[in-house]
Amino acid sequence: MNTLIALKDLENDLETPEVHYYSVIIEGESNSEFEKFLQSHNANQEIKEEYNDLLAWIRDKLGTRGAKKRYFRHEMKAEALPPGSKYLEIEYDKQLRLYVIRISDHVVILLNGGIKTTKVAQKCPNVSRHFRLANQIAEKIDQAFKNKEIELGEDLKNLMFDKNFRLRL
Amino acid sequence: MKKESIIKKAFSQIPDENRIFIKRLDEISERIMSILDFREWTQKDLAKKMGKSPSEINKWLNSPHNLTLKTISKLESTLQTPIINVPKTFNVENDDDNIVTNFTLIQTSTEVPREEEEVENIDFKEPRGKKENRMREYVTANG
């Protein structure tokens, strides 16, 4: 059975000068993937510093400088706009990972993540499912761009899509 | 009353020290980038001169990485230019000097580092007199 996923605009909750943030909601769930990430990690004292630095990085650094490729864990090959969306990781030394999809310098989709305990994300019990989901969503978003179901706004600073649009995994 | 969203709440609870940390990292990173531009060096050139891998330099400049004072000193030595400046005086009357919670990030500047700021002009080797005299100067200067 297909899983339906809706894009959620986070502008009302997380407005920044340079980056328009989005997340996704899996059909039947009430919280977005990014909200689930926050709920899972906000009370974990072991990663308190990493968690708070990560939030400050998202809002203050990326939000002010723009979501430049170099600020993410994986450098991807150059792409034309609209870009091929790729999953990326924002990392911190103590293995806290947040998976995101960077559409451009101004559009980022924040997903879920966790504390990575193995060298390879695919083998980690904490992050493998988030890693897989991020990859699947990135692929579907690419297709949606090609089908013109999602488009970048004129100023390339937001996504345009029908309110009933769903990604089908 | 409408409940505050999970996201708004999470971002409103970021402690100042974490925001200051990210701001300082940003300032240091932008400063290094400006010096590299001025010297016409790439990050690879810097890595080579410091005996580090390009990926490590990339990590220092582009991720929330906890740079040590040792690393900053090595960078200043390699770049022959100061990266951080500590205010020499504490002026209680100038509020702007004392507010660390101003989170506005500075704009990138590629202006040429001033000659007098060059590290090579700072004499680290020759003390300015005997230790006791230097201490006396300190006591006098600080009342």
Instruction: Look at B64 and A14 and tell me if their CB atoms are within 8 Å.
Output: no
For residue A82, whether the previous peptide bond is cis, meaning omega lies within 30 degrees of 0, is: yes
User: A77 — contact with chain B (CB < 8 Å)?
Assistant: no
Residue B116 has pLDDT above 60, yes or no: no
Residue B16 has pLDDT above 50, yes or no: yes
Average pLDDT over residues B73-98: 82
Q: Are strands A86-91 and A159-161 parallel, antiparallel or unpaired?
A: unpaired
Q: What is the pLDDT of residue B80?
A: 93
- CA torsion, ordered A51, A56, A57, A58, to nearest 10 deg: 90
Residue B77 has pLDDT above 90, yes or no: yes
In the A/B pair of chains, how many CB contacts fall below 8 A?
A: 67
Q: Using CB atoms, which residue from A12, A57, A60 is nearest to B103?
A: A60
Q: What is the pLDDT of residue B88?
A: 79
CA distances for A53 relative to A91, B13, B43, angstroms: 10, 12, 24
pLDDT tens digits along A40-78: 999 999 899 889 999 999 999 999 999 988 888 764 444
Distance CA A167, CA A4 (A): 6
Residue B109 has pLDDT above 70, yes or no: no
Provide the whole-model pTM: 0.82
Q: What is the pLDDT of residue A85?
A: 66
Contacts of B63 in chain A (CB under 8 A): 71, 73, 91-92
Instruction: Look at B19 and A34 and tell me if their CB atoms are within 8 Å.
Output: no
Instruction: Please report the ipTM that was assigned to this predicted complex.
Output: 0.90
Q: What is the pLDDT of residue A120?
A: 84
User: A52 — contact with chain B (CB < 8 Å)?
Assistant: yes
Distance CA A88, CA A99 (A): 6
The pLDDT-based confidence of A93 (bands split at 50, 70, 90) is low
- The share of chain A scoring above pLDDT 90, in percent, equals 66
Residue B141 has pLDDT above 90, yes or no: no
Mutating which of B2, B5, B7 best tests the A interface, going by the most A Cβ atoms within 10 A? B7
Residue A11 has pLDDT above 50, yes or no: yes
Q: What is the pLDDT of residue B129?
A: 43
- With CA atoms as reference, the chain A residue closest to B8 would be A13
Joined tokens for residue B76: 């200043």
Residue-level length of chain B: 143
Report whether A103 contacts A156 (CB < 8 A).
Answer: no
